[in-house]
Structure 1
Amino acid sequence: MGQLIDGHWTPAWYDTGASGGAFVRDTARFRNWITPDGSPGPSGSGGFAAESGRYHLYVSYACPWAHRTLIFRALKGLGDHIGVSVVHPDMLDDGWTFATDFPGTTGDRLFGLPFLRDIYTRAVPDISGRVTVPVLWDRAQGTIVSNESSEIIRMFNSAFDGLTGNRADFRPEALRDGIEAMNARIYPAVNNGVYRAGFATTQAAYDEAVHLLFDTLDWLDAHLGRHRYLLGDRVTEADWRLFTTLVRFDPVYHLHFKCNRRRLIDYPDLWAYTRELYQWPGVRETVRLDHIVRHYHFSHDTINPHRIVPINPLIDFDAPHGRG
């Protein structure tokens, strides 16, 4: 994983010894917002107006947080307005790199730099912290707008509507309280819960995370047996945030992160719901299982020291879902 300290790279993994064996995720450093007219958003500075061709997105197909932003870029018709660079799935001593010897990688399409950390130091030369995806870059100001995926998807949801004419709204006013409540329940238990289980270095930390994870998956399966989507009959931000974890569950989290009480396909309603979202127009193109499987099994040598990549089950995400 590694991190920058005063602008200098050091290959250091998370220190779970300081947290009783529990994995603690770092907070995002850049929290500015793109708005229709460039006025300040809920955090950070203003001056980031929604303009075609101005912004560039750095992602990994493997990362569920970056995957959220690719989904919203597709759903909101932003492909012609926001460019994308895709990092290599192997995240080793140099962190995320722009090597191009794996299908689907692009290199750094803006600057031709070798490492994602170079994008961070281009914005702030003496920066300290983890180098994560996604990164939303502003070509006009020459800096990072945001590296917080939950906020980037909200920018994509509405900031560019006047430019694209795409009025699809995945965070409607009437459902915002429900979306916030659903996110607050699902994020620590499921989205981050699989990591808390997989990166735990004590039995107690693992047990706490994995039991909460499966209690929540059990609840979600029952809930989706009664409702088409998390908030009823309308797909929202909360569904897409959950989807990026579910689509990785059987290929990666079940085996690699020891989340193996049940598979996703053992949950009839969760599995059908995942297939429906996968089949949503524009979404399947954002799912690269080759990147996902390679990244987790090859990059995490503390979990898989021999870097053996398993063959994995054959999963048919295109099978009829029966939910419409």
Structure 2
Amino acid sequence: MSEENSGSGYVEAEYKRDSNYIEDRITADGSSGWPVEPGRYRLVVARACPWANRAVIVRRLLGLEPVISMGMCGPTHDERSWTFDLDPGGRDPVLGYERLQEAFFARDPEYPRGITVPAMVDIPSGAVVTNDFAQMTLDFSTEWTAYHREGAPDLYPEHLRDEMDEVMERVYTEVNNGVYRCGFAGTQDAYDKAYQRLFAALDWLEERLEHRRFLMGGQITEADVRLFTTLARFDAVYHGHFKCNRQKLAEMPVLWAYARDLFQLPGFGDTIDFPQIKEHYYVVHTDINPTQVIPSGPDTSNWLLPHGREQLSDRPFGDGTPPGPVFPGEEVPADHGPGGVPHR
């Protein structure tokens, strides 16, 4: 199973994420033992998972679809692992697996930790190479450069990396993981502390983004990808299900406009599947939602409202260009988009 989504963390007073991942890297020079090689690796994701959603977005922005194939798990999983129940016959068509667990066991028959997405799988051996989601997307930017599309944006600019790393660490600890800390708190005190930390960070982001279009300035970077996947789930899941309810995202004017801005850029909103997101959280977390009833709301058509942030900068992709149409076969169903209408 995926430890961030297991629901088991809340039995302790304070939720603590298991961050012990397989840290192997796929590198351009092959010194890691896993060389960059078109067609060799399969990125396994689930649209519901915010950590996997990052990898989907970065792969699309950089145009890596022709060289890194993508396998898609369904929105729910059991105690064993994510499953390929969206595919014909319930098996991934490339790996032949029913469960992502099989790829982890191909790497280590006694693999003892969480079966998580995203995971990069070596197709010839069927074994997981890495599930280190934070390093994975940075490597897409820095190790796979020979295969970036023409016009791919620089998502990890070298001159910004020190500040970016600090911003991304704060976003991770206080926001990406902060919503889980609220949702899986096992005592009132732990929840109260987690709630205060989360909204202190959201207030900081409101201030930071008031006069700059994106987290690092006038163009998108990996930092925006990492924040976006949490914001996209905030009103649909975290506000109610995880009790992150001081305000909805739609009631935080700067962050809400920023989130809509990203959503409406090619590569962001066209990766978001609201029904799958809701089904995952409300069905899998039976300790939080024992009835497994999935709420009908909220209305997501407001994600397409004008955001007005173009005035802060007019080059969101920097010296690059927007990605083209979604790769064939990877489209989010039109009725799973905002308000049941097709993505832009």
The amino acid of 2:106's aligned partner reads R
**What CA distance in whole angstroms lies between the structure 2 residues aligned with 1:173 and 1:106?**
42
Task: From 79, 104, 109, give the equivalent of 1:125.
Answer: 109
Asked if 1:248 is matched to 2:233, the reply is yes
**What CA distance in whole angstroms lies between the structure 2 residues aligned with 1:93 and 1:51?**
33
1:228-258 CA-partner distances (Å, limit 9, x unpaired): 1111222211111000000000000001000
1:253-277 CA-partner distances (Å, limit 9, x unpaired): 0010000110001011101111111
The amino acid of 2:8's aligned partner reads Y
Task: From 29, 44, 49, give the equivalent of 1:63.
Answer: 49
**What CA distance in whole angstroms lies between the structure 1 residues aligned with 2:52 and 2:82?**
13
Q: Is the 8 A contact 2:95 2:126 kept in 1?
A: no
**What CA distance in whole angstroms lies between the structure 2 residues aligned with 1:135 and 1:57?**
6
Structure 2 CA distance for partners of 1:96 and 1:142, relative to 1, 3 Å: closer
1:47 matched residue in structure 2 = 33
For residue 15 of structure 1, report the CA deviation from its aligned partner. Answer: 5.1
Q: Is the 8 A contact 2:43 2:121 kept in 1?
A: yes
**What CA distance in whole angstroms lies between the structure 2 residues aligned with 1:53 and 1:320?**
39
**Which segment drifts farther, 165-174 or 106-115?**
106-115
Once the two structures are aligned, what percentage of the paired residues are identical? 41
1:14 matched residue in structure 2 = 8
For residue 101 of structure 1, report the CA deviation from its aligned partner. Answer: 8.0
**What CA distance in whole angstroms lies between the structure 2 residues aligned with 1:13 and 1:122?**
26
Runs of 4+ in 1 over 4 A off after TM superposition: none
Asked if 1:156 is matched to 2:119, the reply is no
The amino acid of 1:288's aligned partner reads D
Asked if 1:215 is matched to 2:200, the reply is yes
Task: From 114, 120, 132, give the equivalent of 2:98.
Answer: 114
The amino acid of 1:130's aligned partner reads G
Q: Secondary structure at the match of 1:255?
A: coil
**Which segment drifts farther, 136-145 or 67-76?**
136-145
**What CA distance in whole angstroms lies between the structure 2 residues aligned with 1:72 and 1:263?**
26
The amino acid of 1:261's aligned partner reads R
For residue 142 of structure 1, report the CA deviation from its aligned partner. Answer: 4.1
1:35 matched residue in structure 2 = 27
The amino acid of 1:120's aligned partner reads F
For residue 92 of structure 1, report the CA deviation from its aligned partner. Answer: 2.7
User: What TM-score comes out, normalization by structure 2 length?
Assistant: 0.84
Q: Secondary structure at the match of 2:44?
A: strand
Q: Secondary structure at the match of 2:289?
A: coil
**What CA distance in whole angstroms lies between the structure 2 residues aligned with 1:194 and 1:238?**
17
User: What TM-score comes out, normalization by structure 1 length?
Assistant: 0.89
Q: Is the 8 A contact 1:85 1:107 kept in 2?
A: no
For residue 31 of structure 1, report the CA deviation from its aligned partner. Answer: 0.9
Structure 2 CA distance for partners of 1:92 and 1:65, relative to 1, 3 Å: same
1:318 matched residue in structure 2 = 304
Asked if 1:273 is matched to 2:258, the reply is yes
**What CA distance in whole angstroms lies between the structure 2 residues aligned with 1:165 and 1:130?**
33
Q: Is the 8 A contact 1:85 1:106 kept in 2?
A: no
**What CA distance in whole angstroms lies between the structure 1 residues aligned with 2:79 and 2:146?**
43
Q: Which runs of 5+ in 1 are unaligned?
A: 4-11, 40-45
Structure 2 CA distance for partners of 1:237 and 1:92, relative to 1, 3 Å: same
**What CA distance in whole angstroms lies between the structure 2 residues aligned with 1:209 and 1:58?**
31
Query: What is the CA RMSD across the aligned residues, in angstroms?
Result: 2.0
Task: From 213, 216, 220, give the equivalent of 1:228.
Answer: 213
**What CA distance in whole angstroms lies between the structure 1 residues aligned with 2:9 and 2:308?**
45
Q: Secondary structure at the match of 1:256?
A: coil
Q: Secondary structure at the match of 2:168?
A: helix
Q: Secondary structure at the match of 1:57?
A: strand
**What CA distance in whole angstroms lies between the structure 1 residues aligned with 2:138 and 2:260?**
24
**Which segment drifts farther, 114-123 or 256-265?**
114-123
Asked if 1:87 is matched to 2:73, the reply is yes
**What CA distance in whole angstroms lies between the structure 1 residues aligned with 2:101 and 2:210?**
44
1:5-60 CA-partner distances (Å, limit 9, x unpaired): xxxxxxx863555x5x1111112431111222212xxxxxx122222111101111
1:99 matched residue in structure 2 = 85
Asked if 1:299 is matched to 2:284, the reply is yes
Asked if 1:138 is matched to 2:122, the reply is yes
2:172 matched residue in structure 1 = 187
The amino acid of 1:66's aligned partner reads A
The amino acid of 1:302's aligned partner reads D
For residue 170 of structure 1, report the CA deviation from its aligned partner. Answer: 0.9
